[in-house]
Amino acid sequence: MALSKINNDSFADSAVHGRRNLIINGSMQVAQRGATATTSAGFQNVDRFQSNSSQATITRSQQTLSSGDPYDDGFRKFYRLQVTSASSNTNSYAEIHQPMEGQNIVHSGWDYTSTSSKITLSFWARSSLAGTYYIMYRIVGSSERRRNGAFTLAADTWTKVTFTTAGNSGLTINNDNTREFDVFIVPHYGTSFTGGEEVSTTDWYDRNSQGDAYLPNFAQNWANTANATFDVTGVQLEVGDKATPFEHRSFAEELALCQRYHYRRDITIYDVAAMGGVQSTNRGAYLLHIPVAMRAKPSCSQGSNIYCWYSAVGQVTAQSNLTVVYMDNLATDFNQVYIMADASSTLNSVGHPLALTSYHSSGTADTHVSLDAEL
């Protein structure tokens, strides 16, 4: 039987064969922190997407798709911002963005210093308000460079957005694991953050010369409108001058990519998250294995009801102030971490085994340990 030739025309402009999409969790599948959040800044629910806002109160949530064009494209989740308390303050803003490691851009195949080499962003978007919205790239550095483009949405209608841009000889990106490149999707910037004579819509510009101006002036009342919604899914950034079909990855692969930056170890009642031993009379030390190498030394946070099981006396003792520390021989790949934890009562017999677990007298409490190495 003869083998048929594979048509690669749709991928001809892409230097990356295999994993085209530089965005992690673009299908909004993974939400280790939970499905809903109301805090005004940071990584809050859908993994790898940071959402910042000011003045208006905005709820962020992972939502389920059951119909529509993105559903037909294979998407089952989307990320929603919703205004729960509106603000007409000129300092109001709302944005969704993903910060990226410099090395992921440097090794992508995009020659970012050449005007003949291009990247393309594509995604599905929907807003309850018809209007103009913005995409913005940011290259972080002493001379911060930005590139933006507008897109228009009809009310309550899913729209496929694409944005292609070329490199520029003035761009510099460090080849390391630090934050070097950001992709922004912007529902709203108040007038305090727009304008500026040199805020270009056709090329990269020097952000440091523009004061507080991030984008050109644009009429947008999204954050001024109570209950306004803005939805996005299917975010893909790839090398080339056209948007190719979205690269759907399995949930397991997407989760592993997310866990490089954030790992949440849920602990159900009486589940053992880590084993360790008595480090001093009021401290336990635990070795926690993690599924992937994290980007950098993580910070540590915990839920309530974290306890250690102290088998010497059959004692259950509350643990607090969990802190990640490293031994010299474990510091190279971040695949396992030592955690120190304060005990609420005295632990005798230094070196005696301990188990980090969840416990509550009602027998119903779950908890978690979270490690964070976000950009």
Q: What pLDDT score does 28 carry?
A: 98
CA distance linking residue 324 with residue 285, whole number of Å: 10
Percent of the chain's residues with pLDDT above 90: 51
Give pLDDT tens digits for 79-118.
Answer: 999 999 998 888 888 999 999 999 999 999 999 999 999 9
Give pLDDT tens digits for 192-230.
Answer: 878 766 677 788 988 777 766 778 877 678 999 999 999
Q: What is the mean pLDDT of the chain?
A: 85
Q: How far is CA 309 from CA 266, 277, 317, 347, 371, in A?
A: 17, 10, 7, 11, 22
What is the average pLDDT across 29-56? 89
Q: What pLDDT score does 342 carry?
A: 84
Give pLDDT tens digits for 294-345.
Answer: 898 888 888 877 877 776 555 567 777 777 765 434 445 567 888 888 888 7
What is the average pLDDT across 27-52? 90
CA atoms within 13 A on the CB side of 287: 9
As beta bridge partners, residue 265 has 369
H-type helices in the chain, by residue range?
A: 69-72, 102-106, 251-259
Where is pLDDT greater, at 211 or 293?
Answer: 293
C-alpha torsion 328→372→96→143, nearest 10: -30
CB-based contacts of 254, cutoff 8 Å, min separation 6: 24, 25, 27, 29, 30
What single DSSP character describes residue 160?
E
CA distance linking residue 32 with residue 318, whole number of Å: 24
List the single range of 49-53, 77-81, 235-239 with lowest mean pLDDT: 49-53
Q: What pLDDT score does 348 carry?
A: 72
Burial class for 179, CB neighbours closer than 10 Å (0-12, 13-18, 19+): middle
Query: Looking up tokens 């989740």, which residue turns up?
Result: 77
CA distance linking residue 65 with residue 77, whole number of Å: 5
Radius of gyration of the chain (CA): 23
Q: Which residue ranges make up each domain of the chain?
A: 11-259, 262-372
Is-contact 200 179, C-beta < 8 A?
no
Which amino acid, residue 101? E
Assign domain 11-259 one CATH number from 2.60.40.2700, 1.10.150.110, 3.40.718.10, 2.60.120.260. 2.60.120.260
Which amino acid, residue 150? A
191-220 burial, b for 16+ CB within 10 Å, e for fewer?
Answer: ebbbbbeebeeeebbebeebeebbbbebeb
Q: Is the pLDDT of residue 13 over 50?
A: no
Check: pTM over 0.85? Answer yes or no: yes
Nearest to 264 by CA among 374, 336, 375, 372: 372
CA distance linking residue 135 with residue 364, whole number of Å: 45
Phi, psi of 309 (to 5 degrees): -95, 115
Q: What pLDDT score does 9 carry?
A: 42
Where is pLDDT greater, at 191 or 157?
Answer: 157
CA pseudo-torsion sign 265, 271, 275, 280: positive
Q: Is the pLDDT of residue 17 over 90?
A: no
